[in-house]
Amino acid sequence: MQSRIPSTARTGRPRSAATDAAILEATRVALVELGWSKLTMGDVATRAGVAKTTLYRRWAGKNELVVDAVAELFDELELPDRGSLSADIEGVVLQFAALLNRPEAKTALMAVIAESTHDEPLRERIRTSIVERQKRLVLQGRARAQARGELPLEQDPETASRTADLIFDVAAGAVVHRTLVSAEPVDEDWVHRFTALLLTGLQG
């Protein structure tokens, strides 16, 4: 898992990874139990066993804290080499769906998305801390497929970047919609059919 360094970090004593982990875990637990509206920095501090000032040395407020708590979950996603582009896609989509079905991930993600509809700085933080970070999976998968000869190389960096954005939007959007909006299962059959449809576009 990649370490998270909130943008509000200040110079001074070295950060404690154990303290950060305890705070982010406490945040996710509090979200599940209390919901967004009732969650407070004080409650998170109590659950994590730290002073409230410790939180504010790391995060400016609840919005930043909750986004980082969600981002840490998404950093768990990996793209193991399963031998083919289709198998790689199916593997990461199943991982993603399983993550979204975890109560702490589902509650936290829905909360920050809802709050961001009227909070542009929060929306930007979601983009930079979650969306942009997870595009690494698309870049890694596409590079691996190109090395295998499954996808053509793209010579224009701008075109390659736009393609990566589109792949991410399609894959992530489909899984989030089916899991959190439609509340339908993302099982192996659905993932297989979705992957076949996605590959039609990629290889067309």
Question: Mean pLDDT over residues 99-111, rounded?
Answer: 88
Q: Tell me the whole-structure pTM to 2 decimals.
A: 0.82
Question: Mean pLDDT over residues 174-195, rounded?
Answer: 94
pLDDT at 99: 94
Q: Distance between CA atoms of 77 and 72, rounded to whole angstroms?
A: 10
Question: Mean pLDDT over residues 59-77, rounded?
Answer: 92
pLDDT at 15: 67
- The structural domains of the chain, ordered by start, are 17-70 (1.10.10.60), 77-203 (1.10.357.10)
Q: Distance between CA atoms of 56 and 179, rounded to whole angstroms?
A: 34
Is the pLDDT assigned to residue 74 strictly greater than 90? yes
Question: Mean pLDDT over residues 129-135, rounded?
Answer: 93
Q: What is the dihedral of CA 160, 165, 171, 176, to 10 degrees?
A: 170
Q: pLDDT class for 202, splitting at 50, 70, 90? A: confident
pLDDT at 3: 41
65's enclosing H/E stretch is helix 62-74
pLDDT at 200: 87
Is the pLDDT assigned to residue 197 strictly greater than 50? yes
Is the pLDDT assigned to residue 8 strictly greater than 50? no
> Could you identify the residue written with the tokens 């998305």?
113
pLDDT at 115: 87
pLDDT averaged over every residue in the chain: 88
Contacts of 27 (CB under 8 A, 6+ apart): 39, 44, 65, 66, 69, 108
Is the pLDDT assigned to residue 13 strictly greater than 80? no
